[in-house]
Structure 1
C-alpha cells in the first residue's frame, strides 16, 4: 500500500449539527415473488440503513428486464446483514448502490456476507463506495463476463483478516485496470484506498474519518462549516443527531442493535411504522416471536405453552447450526425442541459471543428434546443460566455428545432432567462431573433413565486430567539420548475395587515429556498442546513387596 498524507483532525458531529435523520428499513428483497406482486420499490429505494439483509435476485429470464434494471437504492450506505446479488441482467451495480459503504455481516448467508453469482451480463462490480465488510466471507462466481474482481485489494475491505474471498468461474482473460495503479471496480473506477494512518476509514486518500467510524464518512452538507458524519458507527449511533456512542442513553430504545431512538421516534421509525418492547428496551419493526402486539404500538411477552401452541409456533422447534442462529432463541422462555450441532468455528470478536449468548437469557424450559452435538464453543453449559427444566414426560431426552472442549455441565445452578439422559464421547468432561449432575437430578426427579455409557468411565474425559496423584519418580541410568525413569504408582490407580490384575482399569500409561536445555526446568503447559512429546508405555503390574507396580 502506498503512503499518503492524511488529515486526522476531522470534526465529529454535535447535537447542533445539520444532520438529517436517516430512513431505516428492514430486509430489502427483490426476487421473482416481489416483482410479480408489484411491490413498492419507491419506498425501499429511499432507505439509507438496512437493519436486515439485501437480496437482489430477480430471475432475469422470468420478468421484464426494463422493470428490474430501473430499480435503484441511491441512498443506501449501511447493511447490517448480508448482500446477495444474483440472477440479474445488470452490467454493473454502480448505479444501483452508488453509496453503499459498509456491510456489517451480523447475519450471514452460509458464512458469506457478500454473494455475487450467476449474473450473466455483469461486466464490472461497480461498488465503488464499499470500503468495509466487518464479518463474513465473500464469494463472486459464475459471472461469465465479469472482470477486475481479482484485482481488488479485499484485505483492505475486510475487517476480519482470516476471512475467505472466493472468485471463480468469472471472465479470466481481462486486461489490467487501464486507468488505475493496481485495483479497480471497473475500467474507469479505481478502488479507494486509505492512508495507513486512517486504519481503513477515510473520506479520501488524504482525509481520515473520526475513529468511531466504520465504513468511511461523508460531509453533512456542502457548506464550509460542514462536519464529517460517520457512514456507520463501531458501537451505537443516536439516530436523530448521528452521534456515535458506546451505548444508548437510559431514556432511549435500541433499534437493530445499532441505533438509539426515543419512544416517540420508534412508532414511525421503520418507514412509518415501529413497535416498542419495554421488556427488552428495543424498538422493533414488528413484534418478535414470543410477543403479542398491544395498543399504543407496544409488544408484550406471550407466555409460551402447549395451550397457545407455543405462542403460535414461535418457539416450538429450534435447530442451531451457527453462532448467528442463537438469535432465534432471543425471546423464547420455553421451547419444545432445541438441537445445537456442528458448530466448529466462530468469529472471535467478544461482542459476537456476548450478543449470541445473551439470546439464551430468556430460556427457562425445554419440553421434549435437548441435544448438543459436536459443538466446540462450549466449555460449560452455564450459558443456559435460567434453564430450570429439561423434559416434561418420560419420553423426553437430553443428549450431550462429542463436544471436544466441554469440561463442565452446570457448575452452579442446574436444571432438572426428566426422561432419557445420554452423555458420551466428550473428551474433556470428567465422569465425576457427570455423576454429580445425575445425583442432583435424582434427588428431585425420579423419572430419569441414564444410559449405561453415560456412567462408563471410558466414554468421557479421556483427554482430561480427571484424577491427580503425587507419584514417586526415580531416575535410573542416563544415556546420551535416553534415560530410564521408574514411576511408583499406587495399585488403586490401575485396579478396580476387586484388587486383581484381571480387572485393570488402565493397562497403558501416557508419558508427556520435553527436551530441556538445562538440568532443572519447570514447564506449565496443557499436555494436549503441541509443546509436549508423548510416549505410551504398558504398565508392568507385577506386585512388589510394597504393594505397588
Structure 2
C-alpha cells in the first residue's frame, strides 16, 4: 500500500510491521528514502506470500533475520522475491547490499533482481541453493558492476551458517546442521536447523504446531477404533497460514481445517457452538434481495428483474402490475419477457412488513400458472398487518396456481378472485398452511376466494387432483403438485410405493413418508430390504467391505486416530482388521 504522503506511508508501515515475525501474505517495501530508520522490519523471520522491494533509496535491505519466503502468492505470477529500481535518480543513494544473510529457503517461486544501479554482487549468489523449485525463474539483470569481493563475502557468510545444500551430506535433503550424515535436519524443517528434532527447525516446511514442525495440523476429525467412525477431535487445530491455532483469529471463519477470511463460493457462514464455520449450501447459497417499492419501483418490470437473479429470500413485497408485465410507455419501460420470470425459481421465502407480500395483478398471457414460484416455501411477515400475504386477481390465463412448495403463510390473509379459468385452488387445505407456524392467537385468517372458475366445471373437464394426492388438495395437475401425499413421496412427487424391493438403487422410507436412497455401500438384496436408514451402518449387507458396523469402499489407511495413525487391511471375510502395531505404512 503506497500513499501520496511519504511520511504517512512510513508511519503506516511502522505500525503494521513493528515487532512482526511472520507476515501472513505479501511484504511490499517501496518509496523509502535513504534516511528512514527501518529497524522495525528486523524481527521478520518469514513471509508467506512474496516480497517486493521497489523504488527505495536505502543502502541495505532491512531484513537481516528473514529465513523463509513461502511464495503462496507470487509477484507477476513467477517471483517470490523481487528487488527492482532501488536507487535515487541522478543521486548517490540506492541499494548496495541485499543483506539477506539468513535467507536459506524460498519454497515456491523464483527471484527477480533488476535495475538496482549500485547493487554489485547479486549475480554471484547461488540462488539455486536457496530456491527449492529447480524450474523457478531466477532473473538478475541491469544492476551495478559486478564485484568479486562483495560476492565472495556474501557466499562465505552463507557457508558459515552450515545450513545450505552445498555443505550437507546427500542423505540430508539439502538441510543440515553439520557436514556429517547424522547431522541432518528433520524432514519437516525449512531454512535449516540447529539439531535433528522437529523442534530444532529455524522454520517449518509445512506447519508449526506449538513449536514442532508437522506435516499437518491436528485434524478436526479422528478415527475412533471403538465406534469405527471419524469423530470430532477435541484437540483439533486449524491452519492459519503456516501456524496451527486452537482458534481462528477474530474476523476469520473455519473452513474445514483452515482459517479463512471469508467462505468460498458454494458455502455459507454459520455459527456452531460459538464458532463461525463455513458450511456447504444446499443448492444456491442464501441471498437476500429487497422487493419492489423504493428505488426498484412499484412493480417487477423489464428494468429491475435482473436484480432478482439468484435471490433466495425477498425482503419486502413482490408486486406484478400491468405497467410491469406489459410495459409503461410513459416511463419508457418495455414489456417484460415472460422467460425472464424464471429468475424467481430460486426464491424460497418472501418476508417483510408491507401490506402485500406476493401480489399478482397482471401476468403474461402465455403463462397458465405461477410455477416460476415453484420453490417458494414460506410467506411470512415480521410485523402484524391487516393486509394480504397472497393476492392473485384478474389473471385471465391462469388455470392453476402451481405453488407446489408453498407450505407456510405465517401472517396476513389470502385473496384469490376474478381468475375465470382458475381451478384446483378450492382443493387446498388453507388451514394447514396457516397453522404450520402461526401463533395461536393469529390462526384465524381471512381467506377470500371467489369468482374463479366453478368447481363443478373444473371437475367435469378433469381438472382434479392426482389420485396420489391426500385430502389436503393440490396446486395443479399431476402427482408433483400435491400439498401432501396419500402414500409416499420422492423428490417432491407422490408415488404409490418406495423402491424397497425393486430397482437398481433401493430405498427406505422416512417417518414422514419420503423415499430416500440407501447408502451407496449397501449391497442390493433380492426379495428383502436393503437398508433401514441412510447411514453406512444401516445396511443389511455390505457391497464391498465392513469396518465395524459400517460398510466402506476401502479400509482406513493412514487415517489420524486418537493414538496415532491408523492402518487396517481387508480380511478374507471382507472385514477391516487392524495392522500389527509394528507396521508403519500399512
Q: TM-score if structure 1 supplies the norm length? A: 0.41
Larger Rg: 1 or 2? Answer: 2
Q: Relative contact order (alpha carbons < 8 A, sep ≥ 6): 1 or 2 greater?
A: 1
Q: TM-score if structure 2 supplies the norm length? A: 0.39
